[in-house]
Structure 1
Amino acid sequence: MIGRLSGILLEKNPPQLLVDCNGIGYEVNVPMSTFYNLPGLGEKVVLLTHLTVREDAHLLYGFGNAEERDVFRQLIKITGVGARTALAILSGMSAADLAQAVTLQEAGRLTRVPGIGKKTAERLLLELKGKLGADLGAVAGGTQHGATGDILNALLALGYSDKEAALALKQVPADATVSDGIKLALKSLSRA
């Protein structure tokens, strides 16, 4: 498996790149989030990759960071979601946004991605629930202020679902300390 490419960027034709690695040119498909962060032509580029081997082709997909590659790998495991759809999803939203949508079970955010209808969005939320939401839910919470992420993690550790914890967090003021935030969140959960 080819896990990483480091070389000179020769061509940029969205969503495909041509990367020269010591005289060998690799065609790599990338999501637009990676594409927009690429260096100029003739400059050095480093991509984490995923190789798909099919009967009729060997296809290489590149990513700017490990989080995007991990999400891509989770997406292509879902029945009916191919590499092209996975790239479209990662082009339409960041990995953290996708994790947050899964955590909050927001199908509407996924349907904004071209090519994703309501049924596909619901299937994605269902299939990714235990995998992506749990793994990256802390990342999504971690992008908020530190206390909010800690409160979210505490509620999840207490056995509340991602959705319940996220709804309880909406009742907590942004400037609350971790202990006060947990108390307020638990109080709002007990009323529900």
Structure 2
Amino acid sequence: MISHLKGKLVEKNPTDITVECNGVGYFLNISLNTYSQLPAEENIFIYVYLQVREDAHTLFGFMQKSEREIFKKLISVSGIGASTARTMLSSLTPLQVVEAITQEEVAIIQSVKGIGAKTAQRVIIDLKDKLSEFSEDVNEIVKSSRNTHKEEALSALETLGYTRKQSEKVVSRIIKNDAEASVETIIKFALKNL
């Protein structure tokens, strides 16, 4: 398994990045939380999770080791795939995910696209005791705000499974209310309103 990558950040989008290591470019899917922590410089060190399926080998990247561990715990729950776990870590911060699970807040977990009431309850039952150890580690994760374009937010929402037409109305409304909103903020509000 690939544990981490250290190399040059060649491409950066809200949902994915490409890291070049010794002439090989690795495409990594990322959460908005990781996107908000990406360094401005070219050189990057990123933790990796390799998902091996019958039809694909997919890499997921995380700036913090604790976020990767939370991701692994989430995908261990029946009904939560890698895409849903990534959406959860994009809609909520890792700290919010841990708090929602340990404090049994079904409504917060259910607010994430693709998670219904039964799945939210299953997440809490399966992970409540397993995530208490992360509460302190997750506090190290700090969100930074970045000004980005409406197009990046729309592109990210398309990647997460929403149509451009449906996303555009919601994103336009968010930008109208807050012209200085970062791409992460736009996407988080859009995910809650779509």
Which TM class, normalised by the smaller chain length? Answer: 0.5 to 0.7
CA 1:57–1:140: 2 relative to 1, 3 Å = closer
SS at structure 2 position matched to 1:96: helix
In the alignment, which residue of structure 1 is the partner of 2:104? 105
- For residues 87 and 6 of structure 1, the distance between their equivalents in structure 2, rounded to whole angstroms, comes to 22
Structure whose CA Rg is larger? 1
CA distance in 1, matches of 2:44, 2:127: 31
What's the counterpart of residue 27 of structure 2? 27
Q: Which residue of 2 aligns with 1:120?
A: 119
CA distance 1:26–1:142, change in 2 (3 Å): closer
User: Which sections of structure 1, spanning at least 5 residues, go unmatched?
Assistant: 144-192
Give yes or no for the alignment of 1:62 onto 2:61. Answer: yes
State the identity %. Answer: 40
What letter matches 2:51 in structure 1? T
| Contact in 2 for aligned 1:8/1:20 (Cα 8 Å) | yes
User: SS state of the match for residue 36, structure 1?
Assistant: helix
Match of 1:45 in 2: 44
Structure 2, gaps ≥5 residues long: 142-194
Structure 1 outlier segments of 4+, above 6 Å: 140-143
Alpha-carbon shift at residue 20 of structure 1 (Å): 0.6
Partners of 2:136 and 2:9 lie apart in 1 by: 34
Over aligned residue pairs, what C-alpha RMSD do you find? 2.2
Could you tell me how far 1:103 is from its partner in structure 2?
1.7
Q: For residue 39 of structure 1, report the CA deviation from its aligned partner.
A: 2.8
C-alpha deviations, 1:134-154, integer Å up to 9, x for none?
Answer: 3234557999xxxxxxxxxxx
Larger RCO (alpha carbons 8 Å, 6+ apart): 2
Provide the C-alpha distance between the structure 2 equivalents of 1:102 and 1:96, rounded to a whole number of angstroms.
10
- After superposition, give the CA deviation of every residue in 1:79-128 in whole Å (9 maximum; x if it has no partner): 11111011011111122211111221001111222222222211111111
Counterpart position of 2:15: 15
Letter in 1 for 2:21: C
Structure 1 residues 31 and 117 mapped into 2: Cα distance closer, same or farther (>3 Å)? same
- The question of whether the paired residues in 2 share the 8 Å contact of 1:76 and 1:86 is answered with yes
For 2:130 and 2:98, how far apart are their aligned partners in 1? Answer: 10
